[in-house]
Amino acid sequence: MNFASSGVHRAALLVWSILPLSALTTFAADAPAAAGVLWQSTSQITMEGMPYAPPPQTFKRCSPAEWTAPPTPDDDGRGCVNSEFERFENTVSWTSTCAGPPEMAGRGEIVFADETAQAYTGKLNYASDEGSVVITLSGQALGPCDPGAQR
């Protein structure tokens, strides 16, 4: 599929703006409800029709220790909303829609390495009129933190 350069770049900017949602949370059954977990997360984007892949983005974020809802993207003015959170054993998944431009819809899934939930891998798969976008995710828990102290 061939996409106009400007459309591809616009979609790439949208995806880069929502990447931080990959590290917003965790699930750990043994952690106190008020405690948080500091995550170091990496995301890598690939997009249909894009001649190059941007470098991976790595960041740290303090998140609630127990994940009971889908991650909430930073307010970037693009109208992204996550819903349909599901949790089964060591896997969490959700749907995501972004008003855009461009409009995008997709599904995210994170699989924790084991019952300690100290590491994860995952993917966000988006579709739009301008092509498909895949964001590969990985994360490592670094230790406790106070989620209320950030932002």
User: pLDDT of 12-69, one tens digit each?
Assistant: 434 444 444 433 333 444 434 447 889 898 989 888 888 888 899 998 888 888 777 6
Domain range enclosing 81: 5-68+77-143
Is position 87 within any domain?
Answer: yes
Is position 24 within any domain?
Answer: yes
pLDDT higher than threshold 50 for residue 73 = yes
Is position 84 within any domain?
Answer: yes
Q: Tell me, what CATH number does 125's domain have?
A: 2.40.160
pLDDT higher than threshold 50 for residue 11 = no
User: pLDDT of 75-108, one tens digit each?
Assistant: 555 677 888 989 888 899 999 888 877 888 999 9
The SS3 of residue 81 is strand
Predicted pLDDT of residue 101: 79
Six-digit token string for 101? 């431009």
Reading across the β-sheet that carries 36-47, which strands appear in turn? 57-64, 36-47, 131-145, 119-128, 104-112, 91-98, 80-88
User: pLDDT of 99-147, one tens digit each?
Assistant: 877 888 999 999 998 777 889 999 989 998 888 989 899 999 999 988 7
Is position 125 within any domain?
Answer: yes
Is position 17 within any domain?
Answer: yes
Is position 151 within any domain?
Answer: no
pLDDT higher than threshold 60 for residue 150 = no
pTM: 0.71
Is position 117 within any domain?
Answer: yes
Please give the span between the terminal C-alpha atoms of the chain, in angstroms, as a whole number.
40
**Number of compact structural domains in the chain:** 1
